[in-house]
């Protein structure tokens, strides 16, 4: 699906030709109801951060063919369809800087059935768009991915799963996280869905990273799951994870306290699945999530379990919300603003705790809530987190998980900002390491 506005989030990027950055491109949705012949396009006025680019310099790509404005106006049979964005490329030596830009576009169209005095039609849009740095090698040893949870609300309404995966590839990510219960037909998705999943992973060159799974211990009102039932839920999801190509599975158990103490059957549930996890080579990584910090019995119990069993297939998933320094109240429909539950209050877990537990960390769910126009995160200290991971020699997935406000399209733009921030910090780490 295309975005409702003229200017699209996806595809705002610097253009590299012969190893040199020669400009930037932006994707535009056809703003007129019927589409238009290329010859009826009178150009686009593009302004970025107040700098206007001449209409005549812009190149247009429609249906895979690229044109100057003159060529487009003389063309026959070239059509800007309603379902396919035009790629507008603007020459600019060195391109745009990484980060957030104010972009304004006016598209001009003629239409022969409209009287000449009313032409050209003008279609305007203005918004912020983000350039994600694409420096190869500047990764500080981490791998970068996205959880589709970031696009909650958007998927199935204004985006398809394919849109989500195209977005991830477009922002330079190489890993994708899913939720078991978000899969159509769960717990038994169709073979067609599974084939399509593999096709999408291949098309967008994405590695399935972690799948978030639940053991819903208290799924009925009158009794809890037995250990057998709980173990069967986990087994089913482990097999599904493996079938979809995931190397990590986050099991989330029912809780029995406000501090998220897991249901007492958790230990036996995991124990019964350890051999299967090893056989399928899927790591089970319980989530360390606010309000449970690292120095907490719940987390320490997981660590003890790992050490006692000696398993290689249980690790910790760190949700970076535990490092949060400022309160966030929005993004949680279902709670009143006045009754902020404990698990939304900033924990400010110290970096020394992360360093200490690092050998047991398998996966980092890079939870965030808001990145502003200057690429500052208002709640989570990314520079500290990345330095701690880097200094501890940790390498693995940083999987962005946006959990801020849920207006349509907000998540997809915030993900670009988050990746721009992470990649900028990673480049700094790489530079100081050299």
**Residues catalogued as catalytic:** 289
Q: Using an 8 Å Cβ cutoff, are 363 and 328 in contact?
A: no
Interaction between residue 408 and a copy of itself (CB under 8 A)? yes
User: Which one, 147 or 388, has the nearer CB to a copy of itself?
Assistant: 147
Residue with tokens 């593999």: 198
Indicate the SS3 state at residue 60. strand
* DSSP state string for 118-179: G-SEEEEEEEEEEEPP--TTTTTT-EEEEEGGGGTTTBTTTB-HHHHHHHHHHTT--EEEEE
Minimum gap (Å) between residue 162 Cβ and a copy of itself: 13
How far is it, in rounded angstroms, from Cα 387 to Cα 140? 9
From candidates 19, 50, 334, 393, binder to a copy of itself by CB under 8 A: 334
Interaction between residue 343 and a copy of itself (CB under 8 A)? yes
What b/e string do you get for 146-159 counting C-beta neighbours within 10 Å, with b at 16 or more? bbbbbbbbbbeebb
Minimum gap (Å) between residue 3 Cβ and a copy of itself: 7
From candidates 68, 157, 190, 352, binder to a copy of itself by CB under 8 A: 157
Binding segment (CB under 8 A) for a copy of itself, from list 79-87, 167-175, 314-322, 373-381: 79-87
User: Which one, 186 or 305, has the nearer CB to a copy of itself?
Assistant: 186
How far is it, in rounded angstroms, from Cα 427 to Cα 424? 5
Map the footprint of a copy of itself across residues 239-268, applying CB under 8 A: 252-255, 257-258, 260, 263
From candidates 66, 97, 181, 300, binder to a copy of itself by CB under 8 A: 181
Map the footprint of a copy of itself across residues 273-332, applying CB under 8 A: none
How far is it, in rounded angstroms, from Cα 102 to Cα 341? 36
Interaction between residue 82 and a copy of itself (CB under 8 A)? yes
Interaction between residue 219 and a copy of itself (CB under 8 A)? yes
Minimum gap (Å) between residue 356 Cβ and a copy of itself: 26
Minimum gap (Å) between residue 83 Cβ and a copy of itself: 5
From candidates 56, 220, 308, 393, binder to a copy of itself by CB under 8 A: 220
- Give the interface size with a copy of itself as a residue count (CB under 8 A): 71
Within 3-107, where are the H helices? 69-73
How far is it, in rounded angstroms, from Cα 251 to Cα 62? 46
Distances (CA, A) of 354 to 219, 322, 430: 33, 10, 21
Interaction between residue 35 and a copy of itself (CB under 8 A)? yes
406: which 2 tokens?
């849920």
Map the footprint of a copy of itself across residues 84-103, applying CB under 8 A: 84
Q: Using an 8 Å Cβ cutoff, are 410 and 151 in contact?
A: no
From candidates 104, 155, 194, 274, binder to a copy of itself by CB under 8 A: 155
Map the footprint of a copy of itself across residues 352-391, applying CB under 8 A: none
From candidates 18, 19, 34, 338, binder to a copy of itself by CB under 8 A: 34
How far is it, in rounded angstroms, from Cα 157 to Cα 155? 5
Q: Using an 8 Å Cβ cutoff, are 278 and 239 in contact?
A: no
How far is it, in rounded angstroms, from Cα 109 to Cα 308? 70
Interaction between residue 56 and a copy of itself (CB under 8 A)? no
User: Which one, 252 or 418, has the nearer CB to a copy of itself?
Assistant: 252
Minimum gap (Å) between residue 115 Cβ and a copy of itself: 5
Map the footprint of a copy of itself across residues 104-123, applying CB under 8 A: 109-110, 112-115, 117-118, 121-123
Minimum gap (Å) between residue 259 Cβ and a copy of itself: 8
User: Which one, 45 or 384, has the nearer CB to a copy of itself?
Assistant: 45
How far is it, in rounded angstroms, from Cα 434 to Cα 428? 10
């Amino acid at each position: 699906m295309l975005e409702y506005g003229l200017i699209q989030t996806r595809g705002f990027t610097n253009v590299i030709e012969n190893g040199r950055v020669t400009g930037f491109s932006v994707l535009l949705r056809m703003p007129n109801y019927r589409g238009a012949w290329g010859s009826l396009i009178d150009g686009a006025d593009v302004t970025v951060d107040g700098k206007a680019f001449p209409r005549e310099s812009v190149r247009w790509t429609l249906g895979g063919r690229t044109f100057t404005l003159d060529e487009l106006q003389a063309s026959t049979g070239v059509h800007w369809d309603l379902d396919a964005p035009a790629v507008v490329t603007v020459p600019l030596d060195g391109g745009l800087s990484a980060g957030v830009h104010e972009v304004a576009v006016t598209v001009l169209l003629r239409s022969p059935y409209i009287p000449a005095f009313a032409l050209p039609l003008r279609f305007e849009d203005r918004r912020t768009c983000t350039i994600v740095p694409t420096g190869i090698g500047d990764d500080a040893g981490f791998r970068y991915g996205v959880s589709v949870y970031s696009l909650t609300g958007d998927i199935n309404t204004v985006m398809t799963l394919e849109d989500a995966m195209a977005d991830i590839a477009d922002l330079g990510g190489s890993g994708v996280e899913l939720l078991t219960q978000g899969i159509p037909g769960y717990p038994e998705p169709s073979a067609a869905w599974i084939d399509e999943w593999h096709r999408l992973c291949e098309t967008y060159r994405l590695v399935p990273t972690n799948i978030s799974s639940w053991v819903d211990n208290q799924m009925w009102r009158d009794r809890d799951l037995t250990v057998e039932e709980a173990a069967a839920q986990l087994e089913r999801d482990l097999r599904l994870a493996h079938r979809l190509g995931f190397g990590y599975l986050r099991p989330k158990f029912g809780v029995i306290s406000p501090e998220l103490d897991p249901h007492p059957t958790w230990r036996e549930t995991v124990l019964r699945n350890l051999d299967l996890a090893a056989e399928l080579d899927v790591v089970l990584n319980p989530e360390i999530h606010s309000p449970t910090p690292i120095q907490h019995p719940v987390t320490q119990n997981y660590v003890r379990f790992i050490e006692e069993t000696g398993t290689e297939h249980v690790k910790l998933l760190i949700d970076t919300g535990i490092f949060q320094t400022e309160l966030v109240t929005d993004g949680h429909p279902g709670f009143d603003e006045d009754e902020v539950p404990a698990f939304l209050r900033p924990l400010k877990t110290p970096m020394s705790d992360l360093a200490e537990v690092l050998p047991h960390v398998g996966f980092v769910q890079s939870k965030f809530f808001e990145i502003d126009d200057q690429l500052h995160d208002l709640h989570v200290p990314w520079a500290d987190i990345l330095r701690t991971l880097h200094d501890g020699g940790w390498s693995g997935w940083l999987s962005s998980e946006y959990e801020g406000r849920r207006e349509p399209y907000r998540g997809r733009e915030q993900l670009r900002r988050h990746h721009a921030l992470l990649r900028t910090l990673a480049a700094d780490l790489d530079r100081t390491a050299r």
